Structure 1
């Protein structure tokens, strides 16, 4: 079934069929309804490549997920939830999603840009990709509209969306301080990633404001995954003056810290309080349930799509008048892993 056959059976021209299926005003409501009903009955589907050529639009947004992190990312519940939130927000805005990947160092600097042009993509959403990625820098320097979630990059048509990482970390430290803790350590994420660096900044600022000492050994870098949190906590608990509380920059690392405490014969929260970041599903399932800083995944996805649509609607000439940074609030969820020692 093609548009010519649909026009023949409808008794109208192919131009009228095209206008009806694209909600053009030149077609009466009765004709539009009749053509659409017949198209449904006959199983007609538009030729998308042809429509793209005619309309010069693909209604498709590319999603870039750091190729170096993909294998780990597939096991990261927060990133998977964020990906789902982006997909939902795009679908509600009537956009398709195309996942773009590269092979890393073997790819030319313009690999992302070539893919965008090859598939005639409207724009790109970048998910937690390091800002020093050379393919990303080339893309950001072009005129392609780009919205980055937890990715710091700059270009003529770029915008950044992120949670309020620093404020969330500060709230966790404030909570632990109010419980009476004065020796509060942190397990960070990879510090070349903006969310990890911002959470460390929030932790340090809160400690400084509260007059809490931060020995160098109280800051340990992890990788957002459970094993790194467990290893970091094991080292912290072995210190001559171990912390009484740990703020981990990711829930999986926080759960790993709870494992290390149990292995050391310590009780959470009586001997060690633990607070995480993200609020993944497992945070409420472990025992004791994990106190954490919750990120709003749906709001992040919706903000990224809204920001990208603003760039698309504005066009290259008036981008300077748009907001180039969207910050989504976080909230502290107090559960059983943190209470007065």
Structure 2
């Protein structure tokens, strides 16, 4: 196995220069860095990670904490896999590795986070599914561990975050359905205190008020964010008295759409014919009939932005990403479909 000394001798460079080039240090010019990386690849150089970690107090690993379990991800979640692809695209530039840290739905996320940190498993962390009040944020800040949040929270330590534009989804979705004659518009909200639920409900309330429509708590349907949750909501709608049922619905979770469609067909409210649906786009949604009116964004680009914003806060990489502390709401594009027909007058 090729070592760093042999690599340095082959390139006629000092071991220190080769080491700094491999670790993405800003004091190495791009030409030298590229030369080192190409030679390392050609010679099959693999760093001694254990020794490297002991010397540097670093692991070269960034952890992405996410919760798992059937009630959360259902039969599969392509959201995070696409985000991971973007994140690792950035980390590969600096020979960093992304590791998914899977917190069981039966485990306390705070306790899991503290265990991960105590083991010194990663140099930095990405957290997701942020809560209204999120103790993980305070904990990471108190330990001076670089991190970024995928999602906002009222717990604010001046940390970087990216979040989807849930306010925009509420405003655009309500405006579109109201323009088509809908006056009773239902929405999904999580069962727990995930912050996106609070953000979306408040934006939904404002969008209704701006159009002179009352806010009805009975039109907020709480369920698990998976296929079963969408299916259950459809049946809950059908069980309501006819005059109380929504005629249109906005989903913020792409996993729920398949179950929601199926449930609507089962209860005699076929989407696009007797019931209007707007949801998030996903690869599976492309096979739905009628075509889903959806909010779309590039999850890979989201992952790239997430990784670059994290590295911007880490001294070893900040020169590559002079972004400061990134706090950004990521817009989504509305894609026309056939699932949100005008309200029936029959």
TM range (shorter): 0.7 to 0.9
CA deviation after TM superposition for structure 1 residue 266, in Å: 2.7
Give TM-score, length-normalised by structure 2.
0.79
C-alpha distance in 2 between matches for 1:108 and 1:340: 47
Q: 2:114 — aligned with what?
A: 110
Q: 1:271 — aligned with what?
A: 274
Q: Cα 1:313–1:336, aligned 2, differ >3 Å: closer, same or farther?
A: same
Q: What is the number of residues matched between the two proteins? A: 328
Structure 2 residue 52 is the aligned partner of structure 1 residue 48:
no
Larger radius of gyration: 1
C-alpha distance in 1 between matches for 2:84 and 2:37: 37
Structure 2 residue 246 is the aligned partner of structure 1 residue 243:
yes
Q: Cα 1:199–1:43, aligned 2, differ >3 Å: closer, same or farther?
A: same
C-alpha distance in 2 between matches for 1:156 and 1:181: 41
Q: Cα 1:212–1:191, aligned 2, differ >3 Å: closer, same or farther?
A: farther
CA deviation after TM superposition for structure 1 residue 234, in Å: 1.6
Across the aligned residues of Structure 1 and Structure 2, the Cα RMSD in angstroms comes to 3.8
C-alpha distance in 2 between matches for 1:286 and 1:195: 26
Q: Secondary structure at the match of 1:313?
A: coil
Structure 2 residue 72 is the aligned partner of structure 1 residue 80:
no
Contact 2:134 2:153 in 1 (8 A): no
Q: Cα 1:74–1:326, aligned 2, differ >3 Å: closer, same or farther?
A: farther
Matches within 5 A, 1:135-284: 137-152=138-153, 154=155, 156=157, 158-240=159-241, 241=243, 242-277=245-280, 279-284=281-286
More displaced, 126-135 or 324-333?
126-135
More displaced, 133-142 or 77-86?
133-142
C-alpha distance in 2 between matches for 1:219 and 1:40: 55
Q: Secondary structure at the match of 1:251?
A: coil
Matches within 5 A, 1:306-325: 306-313=308-315, 322-323=324-325, 325=327
Give TM-score, length-normalised by structure 1.
0.80
CA deviation after TM superposition for structure 1 residue 297, in Å: 1.6
